[in-house]
Every structure is written in structure tokens, then in C-alpha cells.
Chains A and B, each alone.
Chain A
Amino acid sequence: MKRREARLDVGGRVNRDRVLNFTWNGKPYKGLEGDTLASALLANGISLVGRSFKYHRPRGIFSAGAEEPNAIVQLETGAYTQPNVKATQVELYEGLEARSVNCWPTVEYDFGAAANLCAKLLPAGFYYKTFMWPSRFWMTYEYFIRRAAGLGRAPKEADPDIYDKAHAHCDVLVVGGGPTGLAAALAAARAGARVVLADEQSEFGGDLLGRRDVMDDAPAVEWVRKVVEELASFSEVRLLPRSTVFGYYDHNYLAIAERRTDHLHPKDGAGTPRQRLWKVRAKQVVLATGSIERPLVFADNDRPGVMLAESARTYLNRYGVKPGRRAVVFTNNDNAYAAAIDLADAGVEIGAIVDLRPDVQGPLPQKARARGLEILAGEAIVATHGRNRVQSVEVMLLSPEGDHVHGTARKIDCDLVCVSGGWSPTVHLFSQSGGKLTYDAGRACFVPGKSKQAERSAGACHGTFGVADCLDEGFAAGLAAAGAAGFTTAGISLIAPAVEQPGEAGLRALPIVPGRAAVGHGKAKHFVDLANDVTAADVRLAAREGYRSVEHTKRYTTLGMGPDQGKTSNVPGLAILAEALGKEIPDVGTTTFRPPYTPVTYGLLAGRDVGEMSDLTRTTPIHEWHAMTGAVFDDAGHWRRPWYYPRAGEDMAAAVRRECRAVRESVGIMDASTLGKIELVGPDAVKVLNQVYANAWDNLAVGRCRYGLMLGEDGMVFDDGVTARLGEHHYLMTTTTGGAARVFGWIDDWLQCEWTNWKVFITSVTEQWATVSIAGPRARDLVRELAAGTDVSAEALPHMAIREAKVAGFPGRVARISFTGELSFELSVPSSYGMALWTACVTAGAKYGLTPFGTEAVHVLRAEKGYIVSGHEFDGTVTPQDLGMGWAVGKTKADFLGRRSLDRSDMKRADRKQLVGLQVQDPNAVLPEGSQVVERVLKAPPMPMIGHVTSSYWSETLKRGIALALVAGGHARMGQTVHIPLEDKVLDAVVVSPVFYDPEGKRLHG
């Protein structure tokens, strides 16, 4: 097809002094500042922009906005590429690159178009019916189907752009910046409200930008300019153009996607957030989201050149582009006549106005008639012709009932068919807010019913279409919203501009425009959903096959499930379904509108929380030392803890072996700052301990510590730790690293909600103290030096004792607490001294060979002692008895949290999983943690499992593999051989005591 320049010499909102170069499918073109990609393509005479999803039929630009079903393009290349962008929403910039999707090798000669030839074989549900058998092949079929269907390609590179999020609060959020929204925002702003006005377009004005309305004897856009200027003068008004309100959530919480640099070339947007997600909490919301024109469902209504009437008018008036040279307007209402008149005025020939209504007398039709335009009333288009663009249509007389056509077909040449089937209020956000829709049969559309949230709809989205009425309704809604938000609205002066509003006669709703052949017969297709290639025949087929629910029909036919989410097809589809089912439209109901209104990028949803900011990290006061000495970190409860400290040439295993040897043979040092610490102060502190721990606390002396297990009310162990008594009514509890917040919350909950009159305060002091653990046979030598002035002998400071002391000269504490089974001291100082304490220890410890050790060595050393660890030996399913720790349960205590559950019959079963040690017969074997334990090995799985390995390590001390396991009835199995089937072999192990090392605890008490 020969390319034609379709740009008008004057008019529109484009800047003819600023020419922009862009490429389309690799070829260079020129557009103007103010263009969208779609308007620039039309200006270049390009009508074919893509291939349809299923049949690969040629498709052209169908609309001028968010409802676009056809012009889906791939924008830019490489890391900046974006699939599935609507050309109607892309603002043109210098250097833009775009291409068609869903076609190969080119949009003009598409290989997949063969699908159109087999269309008879591809009815609704075809994929489900054909490829589900044999079921195991579905995955294979699906791969090819998806490839053939494909809608654009996701980038493979990381997104180079910056995205941002922000919270906003306002009295009135106005959604939509057309005449209604502008009026509402102005009213609310004048009343003094904090207003946010968001509109998806690059400039405010909505439909006024695409029309030639006159307000107060000036172009309407002049009124728009003045209003925007006044709004901008209020300090409490935030104007958000290029911002789509895409979600309406509970309690007036709305999400806005602001596109800040999408209208710039990627390289010009670098360094600043490309998009910002606004999370708005609005006291009141005014929805002024306008309406979307409906197409008519007629034979071969998908050919390039078929376009919504109002969109054709927008291209003409806003972008100065003639969307065709000779147009046929096909309508069921008066409104489309305005488009015909505008087109005629701009020099587009009007072949005819084909109106489904037999009697056409409204002011607009009269005006068209006076203008000399031919009106074919009571007629219908029954065919369109043309290969890659419509070249002519055929028109026949429509029966009074609208069920068939008759008479002789008249052929009318045209390259543009402007269709209008009436208007559907954009009720998406209203529906998301929880409001129910009601059906307005007169206008054949759904309108908002009763509000469920602090929200009001106004203007076209409320079913009010005339511009003067919209202004009035907008002002009223803005004022009412401000009033509801607590502002005085009396005396606010609002004078609507004088504007002509021609009256309109009713439309003629016809679900399907009949053609020569019955729907679904013959070659012609009546498309309902252009994006997903769903035809009227498909919807009828679904009804015939028994689909009654609109939700099921939607999924079966894929109606409304494309990138446009059925913005132009939902209501026409419903009408066809209702007719097929012999029901009224409101009885069929609508599908659910869900966020987002239009697609949003993943980048927007991720915001800044990517890369190293993707999750919280916590570091100890000694972190820098660990990092500088090359520690490998282990993440636990957001904490970054040293896992092990490899020396040059060491792997993890070698480093851990060396660290373990140091602790058992000389002395090691560990950063224990991450353990949770809670202070309990008050006369009832001991009552709290007695309730939250399973053991008894009444006789703990000041200066001494005790170990305890914490149980949930279900009797299961959920945390453990040591609590020290610092003073008469003053205790310091330690918790596991990961359990600190949970334990604090657990105790606080009981104190606030049950033990409300207990005299005790609890305070988290985890972060106040840096704690260093010095462990090993030489520990006392080092600590004696560091805590000069404090007697740290076994007599003065025995195991489980604590003293205030100066350590390395800093005010702190010394305690005898051990995780390793070795002679151990915990030194604690306020966190700001933490690094100084650590370096003092390292300096003083050099002569003893002091070795830093990480969490992996701790795990090995504690496992040698049979000490339990959260997440390994206890995981919420294990009682103290299961762990063989009945000694940690106060037998004489009347009550404690979880006590009653320990008496439940299930807790006393002999075959509960119990903690045991496993000694693998091959001493060099280290069982994988999580391995299943079986009594009898069968030839192949499944085989009955009796337990699993909870911890397993190479014990450098014992020079063999050791493991802890939870095994059914384990305590009675001592000495039994059990089996651990692995992928390639079966290992045999003997059930032994979980304490592998120093069972008498001599070293601990040393």
C-alpha cells in the first residue's frame, strides 16, 4: 500500500516545529512533539500495526486510549525493551524504536496467518478440548501453542531503571482530569481541601482535548488551561498527569502508577525514578474516570481501518491527523454524528452514515443532514473488504426486529469505518472499591450503584455524558467530597462555563449486527474481543455448551482476558451471552474488575527494594572486624553472623575443623551479640519466669543463671535460653537469635492481656549489649587478664554464674555460659564498646592462639554435646520429653504455659519422635541433614519412615561423623541399628545417646 501523509496543516495539540524521528519495524519515520506512537503511525499512513492473537489476522489502530485491543507493540530493545505496550498510550520521543508483536517474519506477510485458514478448527475452548489428551502431552503442546501465540518478549537483562514508591495522604483524591475531574478538583481545592488529581494522559482535559467544544466563547482547552493553572496555585494540591490510578483497595487506599520519564528516551531518563508508585490514603474519592466507547459487533469488523468513532475524532482534533480519506460512520446513537461532522469539516469524505435506527431526528443528525452528509437510517454494514486495510463496506436494510438484513447490498468505498455502539462508563475503580453495578437498559450500560467506600462517581463514569452536565456534576461531587472531609463548602463560588450540549436521542442496542449468513456460518467473523480473537459465535457456543455463569464463559472463551482486559468487549460480550441464554443483561451479571486497571511494570511494584536493599540486614557492633578478616556470613533472622573465617587456601570444611580444634584444645572467640536479651524488672518477674519457662525459678540466687525451655500452650518447645538473676527483682533473659522478637512479643502479650496486674516490666536490651564468648581450655587465662579485678576462678565464678565487671577496662559483665561444652566466659559491654572489647580480646589472646570461630563451628561443637538448636531439633512439634529433657520441666509446678498440653494423651505416646544420636557405622560418612530414617530397607520407595536426621556434622574432636535425629520411640531403641537410604546407597547407623562428647560435663565446669 502506498504511504500517505495524513497530517493536517493546522490544528491539534501537536507542535509542528518539533519533528521527532522514530523507527517502526526497523524503518525510519517522523512524527511531532505531542504525538502518541499511534497518532504518528496514522500520520504516516500506517494502518496495519499487528496480527491478532489467535488467527493472526491483520489489525489496525482501533482506539486512541487505554482500551486499545490491537496496537500492542514491543518498545525499545535490549535491557530497555518493554513488551505489550499500547501504541495509543506511548508518547512519541526522539529516537523511539517500536515493532509489531505476534507476527513473523513481518507484519505484512505473517506466517501464522495460516491459522486464519483453519479458523473453523479453532473454536472457543479448542485448546482445552484438543490438547488435553493424552494429558501428559499438554506440557509439550502448551510450549508450542504459547510460542505461536506469543505476545511480545520480556527483556533478559536486569532492568536498568530506577523505580520509586511514596505514600500520599489527601482529603480528596480526584481520579480523572477531564471536565468532570477538573471541576471536582477545583471545587475541593477552593474549599481548602488537600487534593490529589491524577490522570493517565500527558495533559489534563480528557475528552475536551479531542473535541472542538467551545466554553465561554473560547476553545474548551483554554478553560482547561485556566483551571489547571488555578489548581497549580494551591500549595495543598498535587497534580499528577501521566498517572494511572490502577487499584482501589480497602479503606480508601488507592494505588497510582506515575510515569515520570516514560515519555523520554531511555537515556534521558537515567538517574531519576522512571516510575513512582503512589500509595494514597484518601479521606474522600471522586471518580471521574469517563467512559469508553463500545464497538458494534458486525461481520469482519476487525479489518484495519475500523476504528471507534470518538477515537477518529480524537486523532483529528488532538493530533491533527486524518485517520482516513473516506469514511463510513456506523452507529447506533447520535453521538457518532459529531465525529462525522468533525471529519467532514477536516476534509475527510463521508461515504455515508449508517445508522441501525430507522428514525434519526436528533440535533446532531439534523446538523449532519444539513451539512449534506448521507444518512442511511435503519441499515447495517454486512461486510467489509480489503486485504490489509478496509477498502469498502457493503450495506443492507435491517429488519425492524434487527434479526436479519434484506434488500440489495450497496457497496461503499472507504478506507475508514468509524463505529460507535454507545458508551460504557469506566466503572473499574468503582467496582474495585466494592460497589455493585446496576444496569441502565436505556443507555445499554452499567452504572455505579451504591457506594461502599467514601467515594462518589461523577460525569461519564456515572452515566452522565453531556459536557455541561459533567461540569455541574463534577463541581457538586468535589464540593460534597470536601464537605465530607470536614471542610466548609458554603459560599464557594463555582460558575460553570457556558457550553453547548446538544441533546441526544436514545440508542438502539443490538448485541449482534446480522450479516448475510447466520453468525458462525460462512466466512465472516463477528469479533467481540479483538485482543483475544473471541467472536460472537464463540460466546454463543459457550452458551450452547452449558456455560451459564459469565465468569465461566470468560475463562472458557478468554473473552476480556487480553492485555486490554476487555475494555471494549465486556459489555458487548455480556449482551450476546444474555441473548443466547434468553436472559436480561443484569441477570447475567458482570465479571469482577480487579486491579490493575491497566498493566503496571514489575519495576514499579518492586520500587527501590531491589539488590542489596531487597531485605533488611542487621549487623553487630563487631561486624566490620568480621568483614575485614574475610569472614563468610550466615544470615539468620536478618542478622549477618560470621559463619566461618577461612584462612588463605582453606575451604569451609578445613576452616571449621581448625576453629573446632581451637575451641577444644586452646581457646576461641565468638561474637554472640545477636542472641536476644530481655530485662525483667519488678517483684513479679519471677512469676513471669515460672509461667513462660517449663522449669522452676523460685530458688535462683542473685548472680546465678539457669537454662530453660519455653513452650507454647500446645506444649511444644519454641525457644530456649539462659536467664540470669541480676538483682532482687531484676532478671536478664537470653533467647535464640531468631526467636528474640517472638519471645518478647509472647511475654508482652500475656502481660498486657492476661497478667494485667503483675508488677513487672520487660524491656528488650538485645541491641544494648555487645557480647563476646571466649571458649576453650585456655579461656580462663585470657579472661583473668581481661577482667582484671574480678575473681574468675572456678570457685568465685562457677559455671552459670554472672558478675558485673570491668572487661578490658570497660563497664560490663562476665558470665559463665557455654554453648560449646567447653569452659566458656561471656563478656558483655554496651554496644558502643563492642569493637574495642573485641580487639582487646584478640590482642590479648594472640599468645594463647585465640581463634575466632563462627556459627558453623558452634553448631558442630554443640552437636557433639547433644545441645538442641531451634529449627533443627525443635520445630514446633517437639516436647521437652521428646528431647529427653524432662529434667527441664518442673514436676511440682502447678501451672506454666503449655503444661496442660503435656498431659494430653497424644503427648504420652511411646512412639513419638524422640531425640537420639546416630552413630553411622562408616565413621567417615556424614549423613545429609533431613535424611529419612527407616527400620527396614525395601527395594524401592515408598518405605515406612521412623524419623529424620536433624543435625549432622563431621566431628573434628571425635574424628567421625555424628548426627542427631528425631526417631519414633527413639529413647527405647538405644543400641538398635537403623538405616538411612540415600540416593545412591544405604547407610546403617546405631542409635546412641545424643551426647557424644564429655557426657559428665567435666570440661564445662572446669
Chain B
Amino acid sequence: MADSYFRQTALAPLGLAAKATDAPGEAGVLMSEHPLAEHVNLRGDGASVEFLQVARTTIGYALPTEPNTVTEGTNSRALWLGPHEWLLVAPLGTALVATLGRGLAGRAFAATELGDARAVIGLSGPNARDVLAKSCPLDLNPKSFGPGRCAQTKLSRIAAIIAQRDDAPSYEIYVARSVARYTWRWLEDAGSEYGVAIVAG
């Protein structure tokens, strides 16, 4: 579709697709850039049972109310960002903003599309946790941080959201679009001692 021809992810200039391998071999760290997606910043009264109930009806699953956790529905996921703030992630074309606008109409809320404001870097492999430990003060030990958890934190100098997807471990790192290249280079450099392979996002 013509649209995707014109649209660029933050890291498009790095030509990652051409460098991607499907045979990472011994690499301890696998890195990728995720494709564009809908990222909706949802704001509303997280202390209101009524708001949470209507939101649940609208998206088909409950928004997370436990700090730093993720809930998931069939076509989207919701990350806890704050007591009254969530990040909903869905494939392009889901039209989350419109859905939320209809479902939450008449209530105090804001649903803002930020999919273009972000880059999502995938980081996985046996040494993924070591690479994150170099840049981030969170305790990523499986006992305290596992699949289904997310956290906003500081990666080196970068404000980031980290979400763990599986036990590989695989992480998603959400950063502002403008710092994506710096983040990528930082992680690639930090991972170099373990071997880094670029894989498809």
C-alpha cells in the first residue's frame, strides 16, 4: 500500500531490514526494530470503577491497575504507565483512538495517538538481560521482573519503557523517536561483547 511506502520508522535510515539475519548463530543478543503500530496514550480516572468498567467494555479486557504490569486482549495490549495513564499498543489499522472515543464518550478521558512519536526496539537472547543491566537501574532478575511486566525507567540517558514479552528473555524497549538512533547504537555497543545479530522486527 502506498501509505507504507511513504511512512518511515525511526530507524529506517539504518537499513536494518537489509542487515537482518534469520540465522543469528552464537549471537548472545538479538536486536530488531518493531514495525509501526498504533500507540495510544490513554488517560482517565484509574481510581474510578466506572471508568475502568467502561474501558474494559470498550477494549474487551481490563486495563492494568497494578503498577508496571501489562494486560492483553486479542488485538491489543495495555501497559500501565501511571495511576491514570496507560499505553495501548495495537497493529496499524486497529483504529484504537476512534474506538476509545466512541466507547468513552461523555467521560473524562484523553486518547492520544503516539505511534509516530516512538520507536520500539526488540532485544532478546541469552545476554539481553546483561545488556539492559549495563544501562538500566531496574532489577531485571526473573524473580522481580518477568513476562507481563513493564516499567518506565532510564536507559543510560534515555527515558524508556521496558516490557518483557517472554522468558527468552525478549524485551520491548519503547523510546522517543528522536532518540531511537542513539538508543540503538548504545545497545549495540553494549551488546558487542556478547555478539549482536540483527533480526527482523
Contact = CB atoms under 8 A, between A and B. Distances in A.
A735 interface: no
Interface string A727-768: 000000000000000000000000000000001010101111
B153 to A, nearest CB: 11
A767 B112 contact: no
Given A682-B110, A761-B43, A832-B7, A167 B137 contact: yes
A613 B138 CA distance: 21
B166 interface: no
Nearest to A620: B178
B110 A761 contact: yes
Contacts of A281: 137, 139
Nearest to A684: B108
Interface string B21-32: 000000000000
Interface string B166-186: 000000000011110110011
A169 B144 CA distance: 11
The majority secondary structure among interface residues of chain A is: mixed
A621 interface: yes
Contact of A615 (B36, B141, B157, B185): B157
B56 interface: no
Contacts of B8: 621, 832, 834-836
Interface in B1-41: 6-10, 13, 36, 41
Interface stretch (B47-55, B59-67, B114-122): B114-122
A397 to B, nearest CB: 63
B185 A613 contact: yes
B116 A619 contact: no
A970 B176 CA distance: 44
Contact of A768 (B114, B130, B134, B138): B114
B158 interface: yes
Interface string A607-627: 011001101111111011000
B184 to A, nearest CB: 11
A833 interface: yes
A547 interface: no
A279 B118 CA distance: 29
Nearest to B109: A761
A166 B113 contact: no
B136 A167 contact: yes
Nearest to A260: B193
Contacts of B117: 765-768, 831
A504 interface: no
A616 B108 contact: no
Interface residues of B, number: 42
Interface string A951-971: 000000000000000000000
Contacts of B200: none
A682 B138 CA distance: 35
A194 B190 CA distance: 24
B156 interface: yes
Nearest to A767: B117
Given A763-B41, A767-B177, A608 B139 contact: no
A389 interface: no
Contacts of A164: 134, 190, 193
Given A620-B178, A761-B110, A832-B9, A608 B116 contact: no
Nearest to A808: B6
Given A613-B186, A616-B157, A166 B134 contact: yes
Given A166-B130, A616-B182, A831 B6 contact: no
Contacts of A682: 108, 110
Interface residues on A, range: 35 or more
Contacts of A166: 130, 133-134
A273 interface: yes
A619 B157 CA distance: 15
Given A679-B110, A681-B110, A763-B110, A618 B6 contact: no
Contacts of A549: none
Contacts of A167: 133-134, 136-138
A831 B177 contact: yes
Interface in B122-157: 130, 133-134, 136-139, 141, 144, 156-157
B189 A613 contact: yes
A606 interface: no
Contacts of B157: 615-616
A772 to B, nearest CB: 15
B43 A767 contact: no
A621 B11 CA distance: 10
Given A681-B110, A763-B110, A833-B7, A624 B13 contact: yes
B116 A830 contact: yes
Nearest to A829: B116
Nearest to B7: A832
B43 A763 contact: yes
Contacts of B114: 763, 765, 767-768
A618 B109 CA distance: 30
Interface in B83-125: 108-110, 112-118
Nearest to B178: A618
Given A767-B177, A830-B116, A832-B9, A168 B133 contact: yes
A843 B156 CA distance: 40
A617 B158 CA distance: 10
A439 interface: no
A165 interface: yes
A273 B193 contact: yes
Interface centre among A169, A620, A810, by most chain B C-beta atoms within 10 angstroms, is A169
Contact of A831 (B108, B116, B141): B116
A639 interface: yes
B169 to A, nearest CB: 15
B190 to A, nearest CB: 6
A272 interface: yes
A618 B179 contact: yes
Contacts of B189: 608, 613
A830 B13 CA distance: 17
Interface of A: 164-169, 194, 272-273, 279, 281, 608-609, 612-613, 615-621, 623-624, 639, 679, 681-682, 759, 761, 763, 765-769, 810, 830-836
Given A166-B134, A768-B112, 19 more contacts: A166-B133, A167-B133, A167-B134, A167-B138, A281-B139, A616-B158, A617-B181, A681-B110, A763-B41, A765-B114, A765-B117, A767-B176, A831-B10, A831-B117, A832-B116, A833-B6, A833-B7, A834-B8, A836-B8
7 contacts: A167-B138, A619-B181, A620-B178, A679-B110, A765-B114, A766-B117, A836-B8
